[in-house]
Amino acid sequence: MKVAFGKVNITPKDYIGKAMAGYTRTEPCLGKLDDIHAYGILLEEKNINNNCNRLLFISTDLLKIPLSLSEYIKDRIQKFISINPEQILIHATHTHSSFDLTGEFYWPGGALNVMKGIMFGANRNDKYLVWMSKKIVKMVSQLVKDLIPCNIAWIKKVIDEDIIINRRHPTQRSKSDLGVIAFRNLKDNNLIGIIVNFSCHPTTLSFLNNKLSADFPGMIIFKIQKLTDGRVNAVFFNSYAGDLNPITTCGTNFENLNDNKTLIYDQLGTYKHTKSIGYFLGKQALNLAQSISNEDYFEKIELGSYIKKFWIPMKDYKYFSKTWLKNKLLFLLKKYLLIPVTVISSKKPNFSAFHIKYKGLKAKCNTIIQYFKIKASSDSKSKTLSIITAPGELFEEIGKNLLMKSPNGKENTFIFQNTNDWISYLFPIKEYIEVGGYEPFPSFSPVSGVYIEKEILKLFEEIKNKIF
């Protein structure tokens, strides 16, 4: 097997004044704390017929990537290297201090302007997106030339320190696995690079920040490269983090935070917190990778991939609860105002936020999930790694359920959320009906989380039954 790591700066020269995504800010980008990047990892194995089989993972320091953009980038990549679309994933780390790519944050100034952006803001960043795509394609072209023989191993560790919090249920004392996929040079056994997987919103910088930053994922990579004098590459992929926030200024009195959740939502984190959490996780990830024994590495791999497209309807549940009125008003506003106006005003934008079909009063959204299988073997032993993608922000409950039901087990399964698309916060029915909250509003449909979970579980059954 072979691997190559790549990195390209995607900060434009004219970043001042560009709309930023993730909060309802009152101003556009006013400066820069650090650059944003796109990262690539290319895996290659040759079968018995000496044909190359590849997997390409790309991670970007962006809030989210719409399906039309990920498909555009994949199409361009295919023109330069031999690889199929189902063998490529494009991920957004979900930093809240990067650029708006969908138009919803085009007009700064609060929630009403976000609504205006959803309806009329599409198709205003094409020049930047085409420029960024070209840079990513150039990086991928270089990856093919940089491939070197390697072996692979992976490991997970629970981070016990209080650095994350479930903003909706603080007393759960949520903990996240830090996952690492490590690659070593076959010649000298030196570490080439690692994939880092962790569950947390990149919101260490508060809504008061108007400067560009990759947030803590960028600091993870910076710390790993600094500790190794640049010898070890790193790429970050966010796991299920829809309701998991970093702890910066809210403290750890979880009982008090359960009574007053505004302390969580209104944290005033600064760049000091960004570095603190990022450096901590970077050091932990590197130590974890270096702790893997020689016996746990594998020299041979078999690569497999599967992509599944499906439609999610715009519909609501039948229920009644204390959250019903607010939920229903938001649902009706989206279904009969926001989505119809968006469809009419956008016409055929190059990079629209959603792939929507609207017929009469019925709307549905097209999206995708992917499954990647890496069967690793060496002499008499073998083990299989699963990577599953989700087109949105998985709530903790759904993420944990998917890991537990994975055909290869929790320890051998990694989740990459916000991959290839963003359609929704992906929440369970119970959270929507009993708790409510702001998350349903930016989501395409209240049923998105249930549909995504159902499709991934169906995919797991197909894998177990070896349908593909």
Q: What is the pLDDT of residues 159-205, one digit of tens each?
A: 999 999 999 999 999 999 999 999 999 999 999 999 999 999 999 99
Q: pTM of the full predicted structure? A: 0.95
Query: Where do runs of H (alpha helix) occur along 161-316?
Result: 215-227, 254-259, 262-265, 271-290
State how far the Cα of 257 lies from the Cα of 174, in Å rounded to an integer. Answer: 13
E strands, 279-408, where?
A: 300-313, 355-359, 362-378, 381-389, 392-394
Query: What are φ and ψ of residue 460, in 5° steps?
Result: -60, -40
Amino acid at 345: S
Q: What is the pLDDT of residue 67?
A: 92
By the 8 A CB rule, do 88 and 268 touch? no
State how far the Cα of 300 lies from the Cα of 319, in Å rounded to an integer. Answer: 52
Q: What is the pLDDT of residue 346?
A: 57
Q: What is the pLDDT of residue 110?
A: 72
Burial (CB count within 10 angstroms: exposed 0-12, middle 13-18, buried 19+), residue 153: buried
Dihedral of CA 100/104/108/114: which sign? negative
Q: What is the pLDDT of residues 409-426, one digit of tens each?
A: 999 999 999 999 999 999
Residue ranges of the chain with pLDDT lower than 50?
468
Q: Which two tokens stand for residue 132?
A: 């960024």
Q: What is the pLDDT of residue 24?
A: 85
